[in-house]
């Protein structure tokens, strides 16, 4: 119970992660979208979803299966996978959505949990109670208390991974309490009761709710955004750390003749052009409008899924290359109310910046005033305080940036509407001064003093940039080609350890892990004793034992809080 779920982070950007989720041996790459299949009126069959969209998980409704006599017999007989003809992950919902729509349901928490056990759901839900976005607080609180009781009831009796609903309406104190309680007991946490918020385009509230939930659950919890199926919000929700989405929207919207795009919803009847080249739009063109009945719904649903999966792929690519903020800056300008999410994001910037990575290869595009509040900017400004320089370049929103840092991320790839050539400036700086400033920036004030005048710097023949630093004939550091980041060798690592007291720059590990780390194996989260909070994902860190003996140097794979929250997966990639 709960033991069959594992989740490992592969790549990170802002609060987003690309992860590998395994449920009962079945793998899902996250962020993932689970199309909702209505067993009574399938628009596309799970098999078609698998064949055409390579879908690895679908969601269906256990309450519908329970209440429909014919389907109930069939699903109890064949199991939910047999019924759907789908051997991937099948998630089921409990009737909470119907509860929200109709005010009551004809089942109990116990019954619907038992039913999901019987039909073999991989993921299931208890009967959480989604409160209305503007419910009175007393009502929302009452509904939350009942939801939390039902969560307790599910614990220990569910044979599936519980998709544990976190409710609390728009009241952030209620959301925080719910998240703390649910986050303690369940590995898959669902932000519930947000469909109405999404329908009303209250994106700023959506940000506050998701951020509040994330701040109050351990970071290794997989987070599902219940009913968030519109591609226009995937980048936003992913940036806040949502891993799973479910979409009934592709089919429901299709029934209304609504045509999804990553920038918002269009109505097919109003279109004189189709702004899409998916197989459906390519094949039919405007004749899509002339189709009728089920065929029209089906084809429109296929288009809706194509754009949804396209956007999801775009988000994952952005996480991989570290350009999610660039994507957000574009997406959040699709609608004025989406732009309001930028304001809320900025209010959570301090928190989000602790999750973000400190270096990367992507370009930094200054695309508008929100750049001031980007997590990279918050982190960079903090680090710039460590560096003292007489010659600076103006780079809004970072402020005055020492010329010595012009070759590292994000300054090297900084682009603003009025960007001027920096190559010239680069040529005017002595390599050793650049190196010292970069040391201060990466490791802390005074780290630059560890570079004596006598070091020998070798440059890359191809790029002309610094590549190796020798001290007294020994390799002291190298510079990573992709982002010019300083990679300390043993001697430098020892000097850093000397210069900066414990726990600065450190990840300390259990004695049990020491022999493996000595061999160059990765440090796993569960062996970490302590970590310096000032570190950021992608920083170079000193791996030490409990007595502060240096074991190795490595690259931090997660943020410090994630390292402490995770029991599984890599914390430091050791060189
Ligand atoms: N579907 C849409 N919203 C919700 C929710 O809050 N809880 C559950 N269980 N299902 C949902
Ligand atoms: Zn299309």
Asked which of 286, 308, 342 is the last residue of a domain, the reply is 342
165 Cβ closer than 6 Å to some ligand 1 atom:
yes
One domain, residues 174 and 263: yes
| Mean per-residue pLDDT, 332-336 | 95
Mean pLDDT of 331-342: 95
Residues 167-181: what's their mean pLDDT? 98
Q: Which residue has the higher pLDDT, 426 or 348?
A: 348
**Could you tell me if 367 and 281 lie in one domain?**
no
Q: What is the per-residue DSSP string for 420-443?
A: ---HHHHHTS-HHHHHHHHHHHHH
Atom of ligand 1 nearest to the CA of 165: 7
Mean of per-residue pLDDT scores for the chain: 96
Residue 2 has pLDDT above 50, yes or no: no
Q: Are 330 and 367 members of one domain?
A: no
Q: Is 205 in the pocket of ligand 1 (CB under 6 A)?
A: no
**Least confident range of 59-73, 87-101, 351-365, 408-422:** 408-422
Whether 330 and 362 map to the same domain: the answer is no
> Rounded CA gap, 504 and 531, in Å?
8
> Measuring from atom 6 of ligand 1, which residue has the nearest CA?
192
* CATH code: domain of residue 563: 2.30.130.10
Query: Is 283 inside a domain boundary?
Result: yes
- Is there a contact between 570 and 223 (Cβ–Cβ < 8 Å)? no
SS3 content of the chain, % helix, strand, coil (to 5): 45, 20, 35
441 lines ligand 1 (CB under 6 A): no
Q: What is the pLDDT of residues 178-222, one digit of tens each?
A: 999 999 999 999 999 999 999 999 999 999 999 999 999 999 999
State how many domains the chain has: 3
Tell me, yes or no, whether 79 and 163 share the same domain.
yes
Which of 311, 342, 373 represents a domain boundary (last residue)? 342
Atom of ligand 1 nearest to the CA of 125: 9
- What is the DSSP track for 539-565? -EEEEE-TT--EEEEEEE-S-HHHHHH
Residue closest via CA to ligand 1's atom 8 equals 96
Q: How confident is the model at residue 176 (pLDDT cuts 50, 70, 90)?
A: very high
Return the ligand number nearest the Cα of 283: 2
Catalytic residue among 13, 77, 87, 93: 93
Helices and strands: H and E segment counts in the chain: 22, 27
Q: Whose CA is nearest to atom 9 of ligand 1?
A: 96
Q: How far is the CA of 168 from the centre of ligand 1 (A)?
A: 12
* The pLDDT value given to residue 427: 62
Residues around the ion ligand 2 (C-beta < 5 A): 276, 278, 280-281, 303
Atom of ligand 1 nearest to the CA of 163: 9
**Ligand minimally distant from the alpha carbon of residue 34:** 1
Whether the per-residue pLDDT at 422 is higher than 80: the answer is no
pLDDT digits (tens, 9 = 90+) for 374-418: 999 999 999 999 999 999 999 999 999 999 999 999 999 899 988
Q: Is the pLDDT of residue 302 over 70?
A: yes
Same domain for 331 and 429, yes or no, is no
Domain for residue 200, yes or no?
yes
120 and 215 inside one domain: yes
Cβ 322 under 6 angstroms from ligand 1: no
Average pLDDT over residues 159-166: 98
192 Cβ closer than 6 Å to some ligand 1 atom: yes
Q: What mean pLDDT is predicted for residues 76-98?
A: 97
Q: Which ligand is located closest to the Cα atom of residue 189? A: 1
pLDDT digits (tens, 9 = 90+) for 37-78: 999 999 999 999 999 999 999 999 999 999 999 999 999 999
Question: Closest by alpha carbon to 105, among 114, 93, 117?
Answer: 93
Bridging pattern class, strands 414-415 and 364-365? parallel
Where would I find the beta strands (DSSP E) of 248-317?
258-261, 264-267
Residue 1 is predicted with a pLDDT of: 44
Percent of the chain with pLDDT over 70: 98
CATH of the domain at 366: 3.90.1020.10
* Residue 425 pLDDT: 56
Q: What is the pLDDT of residues 116-152, one digit of tens each?
A: 999 999 999 999 999 999 999 999 999 999 999 999 9
Rounded Cα–Cα distance for residues 111 and 255 (Å): 32
The three-state secondary structure class of 319 is helix
- Range 451-459 average pLDDT: 97
Give 306 Cα–ligand 2 centroid separation in angstroms. Answer: 7
The response to whether residue 193 sits with its C-beta less than 6 Å from ligand 1 reads yes
Peptide bond into 26 cis (omega under 30): no
209 CA → ligand 1 middle, Å: 15
Contact (CB, 8 A) for 485 and 442: yes
- Please check whether residue 232 lies inside any domain of the structure: yes
Ligand nearest to the backbone CA of 279: 2
pLDDT tens, residue by residue, 493-536: 999 999 999 999 999 999 999 999 999 999 999 999 999 999 99
Residue 491, pLDDT score: 97
Q: How far is the CA of 24 from the centre of ligand 1 (A)?
A: 23
One domain for residues 477 and 513: no
- Do 94 and 63 meet the contact criterion of CB atoms below 8 Å apart? yes
Average pLDDT over residues 416-443: 83
Distance 253 CA to ligand 1 centre (A): 18
Determine whether the shortest distance from the Cβ of 93 to ligand 1 is under 6 A.
Answer: yes
Give per-residue pLDDT as tens, 219-251: 999 999 999 999 999 999 999 999 999 999 999
* Sheet strands side by side (includes 188-191): 32-35, 244-247, 222-225, 188-191, 161-166, 123-124, 89-93, 57-61
Nearest CA to ligand 1 atom 11: 97
Confirm whether 398 is domain-assigned: yes
29 CA → ligand 2 middle, Å: 24
| Residue 433 a catalytic site member | no
419 in the same domain as 509: no
Instruction: Say if 495 falls within a structural domain.
Output: no
Task: Let me know if residue 20 belongs to a domain.
Answer: yes
Crossing angle, helix 109-119 and helix 137-154, to 10 degrees? 40
In this predicted structure, the answer to whether residue 421 has a pLDDT above a threshold of 60 is: no
Q: Hey, how many other C-beta atoms are within 10 angstroms of the C-beta on 527?
A: 19
| pLDDT: which is higher, 29 or 575 | 29
298, 321, 342: which is the final residue of a domain? 342
Same domain, 443 and 481: yes
CATH of the domain at 88: 3.20.20.105
pLDDT average, residue stretch 322-347: 95
Q: Are 338 and 331 in contact (CB under 8 A)?
A: yes
In a domain, 101, yes or no: yes
Per the domain annotation, does 494 fall within a domain?
A: no
Residues 29 and 117 in one domain: yes
DSSP 60-112: EEHHHHHH-HHHHHHHHHHHHHHHHT--SEEEEE-SHHHHHHHS--SS-HHHH
Could you tell me the residue range of the domain that residue 564 belongs to? Answer: 501-574
Q: What's the distance, CA 280 to chain centroid?
A: 30
CB of 125 closer than 6 angstroms to any ligand 1 atom: yes
Ligand 1 neighbourhood includes 97 CB (under 6 angstroms): yes
Distance in Å, CA 261 to ligand 1 centroid: 24
Within this chain, do residues 301 and 373 fall inside the same structural domain, yes or no? no
């Amino acid at each position: 119970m709960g033991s069959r779920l594992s989740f490992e982070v592969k790549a990170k950007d802002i609060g987003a992660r690309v992860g590998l989720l395994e449920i009962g041996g079945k793998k899902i790459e996250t962020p993932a979208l689970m199309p909702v299949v209505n067993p009574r009126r399938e628009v596309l069959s799970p098999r078609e979803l698998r064949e055409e969209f390579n879908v690895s998980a679908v969601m269906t409704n256990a309450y519908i299966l329970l209440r429909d006599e014919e389907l109930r017999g069939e699903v109890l007989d064949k199991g939910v996978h047999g019924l759907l003809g789908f051997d991937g992950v099948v998630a089921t919902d409990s009737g909470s959505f119907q509860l929200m729509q109709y005010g009551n349901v004809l089942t109990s928490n116990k019954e619907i949990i038992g039913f999901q056990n019987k039909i073999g759901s991989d993921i299931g839900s208890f009967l959480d109670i989604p409160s209305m976005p503007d419910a009175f607080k007393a009502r929302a609180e009452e509904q939350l208390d009942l939801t939390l009781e039902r969560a307790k009831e599910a614990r220990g009796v569910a044979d599936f991974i519980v998709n544990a609903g976190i409710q609390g309406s728009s009241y952030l104190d209620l959301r925080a309490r719910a998240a703390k309680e649910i986050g303690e007991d369940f590995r898959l946490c669902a932000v519930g009761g947000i469909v109405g918020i999404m329908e009303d385009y209250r994106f700023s509230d959506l940000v506050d709710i998701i951020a509040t939930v994330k701040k109050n659950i351990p970071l290794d919890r997989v987070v599902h955004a219940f009913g968030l199926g519109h591609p226009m919000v995937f980048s936003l929700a992913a940036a806040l750390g949502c891993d799973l989405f479910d979409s009934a929207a592709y089919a429901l919207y299709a029934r209304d003749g609504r045509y999804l795009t990553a920038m918002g919803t269009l109505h097919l009847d109003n279109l004189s052009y189709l702004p899409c080249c998916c197989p459906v739009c390519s094949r039919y063109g405007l004749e899509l409008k002339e189709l009728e009945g089920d065929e029209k719904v089906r084809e429109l649903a296929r288009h809706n899924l194509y754009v949804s999966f396209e956007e999801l792929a775009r988000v994952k690519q952005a996480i991989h290359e570290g350009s999610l903020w660039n994507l957000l800056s574009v997406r959040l300008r699709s609608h004025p109310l989406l732009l309001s999410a930028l304001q809320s994001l900025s209010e959570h910037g301090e928190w989000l910046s602790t999750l973000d990575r400190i270096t990367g290869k992507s370009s930094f595009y200054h695309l508008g005033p929100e750049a001031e509040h980007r997590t990279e900017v918050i982190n960079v400004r903090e680090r710039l305080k460590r560096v003292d320089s007489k010659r600076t370049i103006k780079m809004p929103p970072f402020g005055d940036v020492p010329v010595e840092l012009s070759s590292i991320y994000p300054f090297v790839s900084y682009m603003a509407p009025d960007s001027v050539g920096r190559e010239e400036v680069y040529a005017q700086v002595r390599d050793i001064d650049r190196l010292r400033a970069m040391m201060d920036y990466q490791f802390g004030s005074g780290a630059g003093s560890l570079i004596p005048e006598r070091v020998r710097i070798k440059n890359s023949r191809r790029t002309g940039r610094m590549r190796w630093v020798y001290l007294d004939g020994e390799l002291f550091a190298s510079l990573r080609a992709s982002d010019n980041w300083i990679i300390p060798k043993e001697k430098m690592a020892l000097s850093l350890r000397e210069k900066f007291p414990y726990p600065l720059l450190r990840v300390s590990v259990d004695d049990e892990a020491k022999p493996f780390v000595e061999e160059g194996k990765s440090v796993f989260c569960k062996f970490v004793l302590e970590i310096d909070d000032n570190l950021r994902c992608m920083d170079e860190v000193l791996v030490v034992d409990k007595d502060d003996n240096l074991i190795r140097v490595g690259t931090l794979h997660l943020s410090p809080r994630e390292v402490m929250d995770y029991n599984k997966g890599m914390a430091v990639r050791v060189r």
